[in-house]
Structure 1
Amino acid sequence: MSVAPIAAPRWDGPLPTLEEAAKMIDHSLLRPELTLAEVAAGLETALKYRTASVCVRPADVTTAVAALAGSGVAVGSVVGFPHGGATTAAKVFETGELVGLGAQEIDMVIDIGRLRGGDVAYVQDEIAAVVQAAQGRTVKVIFENAYLDDEQKAAGYRAAEAAGAAFVKTSTGFAPGGATAADIALMRRTVSPHVQIKAAGGVRTLDALLELHRLGATRFGATATAAILDDLRARLAEAAPPADGGPEKQG
């Protein structure tokens, strides 16, 4: 992925627990060049840290379902990814196939050109069709914000809510830009509190994650999961009070 990392100052607010932070992360395994061995290693990372989910390529769903069975880590996959230009029927079929394979979460890409052209009804109807095909599974709608102006974004977010999506999501991570603080704030202002926000693209540090969480993001697509959570573990250790009693004094 070529999206630049998000720059954020060192976080100086309260820190979440490791478990809380891990449950904000969808560990991303979507790069087209990943081998099966690399996917397996990524699934081990998700298991080690007990992330909210993994987001894998459609061809890897069966592998992920088997590897993560009983772990509490959900398996997610993508529809119309990464360009969003497939027909609605194709997106519906892909969603149904992924659900049949055991996917619990669906991240779908909208038809970006239709939204840019003002055909909001088409976008809403397509999202609604995918939500129906998902049969109650969590649907996250990817807008690829780098290609949209604020008016188009807001119209799309409202359409996603009206269509029954659980999340609005910033980007695929494969466009010229990814998540931004301004977009997270716009998303939060636009959709109702029950619609959650997923930030993806450039979220590679703990500081970026915590800043975007402050603005309203509740889930994060990340490849740097281990680095983010290891940094949090170190900061929590630094902030912990000394053990009671400390070392015994000699004398």
Structure 2
Amino acid sequence: MDRKDILKMVDHTLLTQTASWEEIKQICEDAIAYGVASVCIPPSYVKRVKEYVKDRMPVCTVIGFPNGYQTSQVKLYETKEAIENGADELDMVINLGWVKDAEYKLIADEIKEIKAACGSRVLKVIIETCLLTEEEKIKMCQVVTEAGADFIKTSTGFSKAGATFDDIALFKKHVGDNVKIKAAGGIASFDDAEQFIKLGASRLGTSRLIKLAKNQEATGY
């Protein structure tokens, strides 16, 4: 698979706590140069980034990040503010305690409410696979499908592990036709990225692939 085609599926991401404007601006420039799907940045930078990139690149941000245990009303406020500031795509974290308590209706209602606020904008739902059992992952595939989100996403990248090939295969088997798949966290090579895509992912959350591409251009290999 051509590297340019892989990069078209990347949400080029910088969500570290210490991310500075100069670093954010640089990933925006790289995202535009390499033609990725979006740039994914902290909510506090959304307005400034949108003003900077204008229509050159979709802007993605995160909601309830990274732990997901904010109240639904807080997440809804975050969503509305992000949209007002210019966000085109939103990646929300579910309440994992509700998963453990089998409060599936609460999770579904929260997703539905946030999707309603998003309207035509893309909503990705992060279920943090490394903290769930296989049974819980399957149930979340069903909940995310029924709630009408656009994507199910593996990971925040801030927990104990990221995406795995097994999780993407599991998602592909259990999500509805209306739900796409995003692999995120720990994607360290183009070979891994291609395998995630073959298994069913249509988005990849990573900061490493552009770094690899830039290094290849600089070194010739």
TM-score range for the pair, normalised by the shorter chain length: over 0.9
Structure 2 residue 142 is the aligned partner of structure 1 residue 155: no
Structure 2 residue 194 is the aligned partner of structure 1 residue 214: no
> What whole-Å deviation, never above 9, does each CA across 1:77-123 have from its counterpart, x for those lacking one?
00000000000011111101111111010000000110122111111
Residue 116 of structure 1 aligns with an amino acid whose one-letter code is K
CA–CA distance in structure 2, aligned partners of residues 104 and 232 of structure 1: 31
- SS of the residue aligned with 2:74? helix
Q: Residues 22 and 229 of structure 1 are in contact (CA less than 8 Å); yes or no, is this contact kept in structure 2? A: no
Give the % identical residues.
36
Q: Residues 205 and 227 of structure 1 are in contact (CA less than 8 Å); yes or no, is this contact kept in structure 2? A: no
Deviation at 1:231, TM superposition (A): 7.6
Aligned equivalent of 1:56, options 2, 23, 41: 41
2:160 aligned residue: 176
- SS of the residue aligned with 2:49? helix
Instruction: Report the TM-score, using the length of structure 2 for normalisation.
Output: 0.94
2:20 aligned residue: 35
1:247 aligned residue: none
CA–CA distance in structure 1, aligned partners of residues 216 and 175 of structure 2: 30
Deviation at 1:66, TM superposition (A): 1.6
1:201 aligned residue: 185
Q: Please, which runs of 5 or more residues in structure 1 have no aligned partner?
A: 1-14, 239-251
Structure of higher RCO (CA pairs closer than 8 Å, 6+ residues apart): 1
CA–CA distance in structure 2, aligned partners of residues 216 and 229 of structure 1: 23
Deviation at 1:225, TM superposition (A): 3.0
Instruction: Report the TM-score, using the length of structure 1 for normalisation.
Output: 0.83
- SS of the residue aligned with 1:106? strand
2:67 aligned residue: 83
**What RMSD over aligned residues (CA atoms) do the two structures have, in Å?**
1.8
Residue 82 of structure 2 aligns with an amino acid whose one-letter code is L
Deviation at 1:194, TM superposition (A): 2.9
Deviation at 1:232, TM superposition (A): 8.3
CA–CA distance in structure 2, aligned partners of residues 233 and 220 of structure 1: 21
Counting matched residue pairs gives 220
Aligned equivalent of 2:119, options 135, 138, 141: 135
Structure with a larger share of its residues in helix: 2
Deviation at 1:64, TM superposition (A): 1.4
1:245 aligned residue: none
Superposition misfits of 4+ residues, deviation over 4 angstroms: 230-234
CA–CA distance in structure 1, aligned partners of residues 92 and 139 of structure 2: 17
Deviation at 1:142, TM superposition (A): 0.2
